[in-house]
């Protein structure tokens, strides 16, 4: 082999090696979508739902304007995919590389208890560059629905005296506070009060508005009066009720009397 042929062969080898190096480098240049946490275990009672929040990050980008539009969807496992509600679409880019994505596990009533697995993966709708994606391993423990076995409990506190004086048809109000609670497995439904007037003139009812902890406050307007011949006064009875899947509770009746005697003592 002469010197010219040797130089030509060496040049071809250099070009080939350079091409391989460039191809290898190019194959390693890929953005990555990762999750935190990437392994999750949750327990869900049949008939209920639970949300899972994933911190989703775009990293190792090549372009300064890199971005990815995606949502998180079930991609495997033995769980019924209808139980996994994928996340709403999110956008990650170089300026905002991390965002939260929420996936909901919605287990239907009557689902078989046991352990189920799921693989969550990003479904990319659009991206500016080649992107590698991680996955999330999800373990769902489905608990049996024990149902609701007991009606709600009600406690009431009155800030009113048990006897009030008549005020020549003067407007007044009766104030009460309290709480309504149901056992685990129960959902409190309707809550209400009912005013029963001895004369039947001020009978009334209304809804008890509960806060996040089941507490309520209510003020019931009345007219503080009684008939002149009513020697034992006018009786107003206020009862409180609540309902859940197991039934209705009527409890903690409060009684206020508009007295006959209006004299100062």
Contacts with 182 (C-beta within 8 Å, 6 or more apart), sequence order: 148, 150, 152, 153, 188, 244
pTM of the model: 0.49
pLDDT grade, residue 100 (50/70/90)?
very high
Domain count, the chain: 2
Question: What's 230's DSSP letter?
Answer: -
Last residue of a domain, one of 143, 167, 202: 143
Tell whether 12 is covered by a domain.
no
Assigned token pair, 216: 């309520």
The residue whose two tokens read 């003139």 is 201
Contacts with 206 (C-beta within 8 Å, 6 or more apart), sequence order: 192, 193, 218, 220
- Tell me which residue range forms the domain holding 42: 31-143
Same domain (yes/no): 96, 182: no
What's the distance, Cα to Cα, between the start and end of the chain in Å?
133
Tell whether 192 is covered by a domain.
yes
Tell whether 74 is covered by a domain.
yes
Same domain (yes/no): 37, 129: yes
Tell whether 111 is covered by a domain.
yes
Tell whether 250 is covered by a domain.
yes
Any idea what the Cα angle at residue 130 is, between residues 128 and 134, rounded to 5°?
A: 110
Q: What is the CB neighbour count within 10 angstroms for residue 249?
A: 19
Q: What is the CB neighbour count within 10 angstroms for residue 197?
A: 16
Q: Helix or strand or coil: residue 23?
A: helix
Tell whether 10 is covered by a domain.
no
Same domain (yes/no): 130, 189: no
In tens, the pLDDT along 103-136 reads 999 999 888 989 999 999 999 999 999 999 999 9
In tens, the pLDDT along 237-263 reads 999 999 998 899 998 789 998 887 655
Last residue of a domain, one of 93, 108, 143: 143
231/181: higher pLDDT: 181
CATH number for the domain spanning 81: value is: 2.60.40.10
Last residue of a domain, one of 95, 115, 143: 143
Q: Helix or strand or coil: residue 221?
A: strand
Tell whether 77 is covered by a domain.
yes
pLDDT grade, residue 221 (50/70/90)?
very high
Tell whether 246 is covered by a domain.
yes
- Cross-strand bridge partners of residue 118: 138
Residues 86 and 2: their CA atoms lie apart, in Å, by: 68
100/145: higher pLDDT: 100
Same domain (yes/no): 162, 106: no
């Amino acid at each position: 082999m002469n010197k010219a042929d040797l130089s030509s062969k060496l040049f071809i080898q250099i070009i080939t090696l350079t091409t391989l190096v460039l191809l290898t480098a190019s194959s390693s240049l890929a953005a990555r979508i990762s999750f935190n946490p990437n392994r999750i275990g949750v327990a869900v009672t049949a008939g209920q739902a639970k949300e899972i929040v994933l911190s989703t990050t775009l990293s190792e980008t090549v372009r300064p304007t890199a971005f990815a539009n995606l949502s998180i969807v079930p991609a495997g496992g033995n769980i019924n995919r209808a139980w996994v509600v994928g996340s709403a679409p999110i956008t990650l880019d170089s300026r905002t590389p991390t965002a939260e994505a929420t996936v909901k596990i919605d287990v239907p009533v009557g689902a078989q208890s046991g352990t189920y697995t799921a693989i969550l993966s990003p479904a990319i709708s659009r991206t500016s560059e080649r992107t590698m994606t991680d996955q999330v391993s999800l373990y769902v423990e489905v608990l049996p629905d024990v149902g609701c076995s007991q009606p709600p409990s009600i406690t009431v506190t009155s800030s009113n005296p048990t006897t009030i004086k008549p005020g020549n048809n003067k407007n007044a109000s009766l104030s009460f506070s309290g709480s309504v609670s149901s056992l685990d497995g129960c959902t409190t439904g309707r809550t209400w009060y009912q005013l029963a007037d001895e004369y039947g003139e001020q009978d009334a009812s209304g809804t008890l508005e509960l806060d996040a902890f089941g507490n309520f406050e209510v003020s019931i307007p009345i007219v503080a009066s009684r008939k002149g011949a009513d020697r034992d006064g006018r009786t107003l009875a206020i009862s409180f009720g609540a309902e859940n899947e197991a039934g209705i509770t009527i409890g903690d009746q409060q009684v206020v009397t508009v007295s006959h005697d209006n004299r100062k003592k």
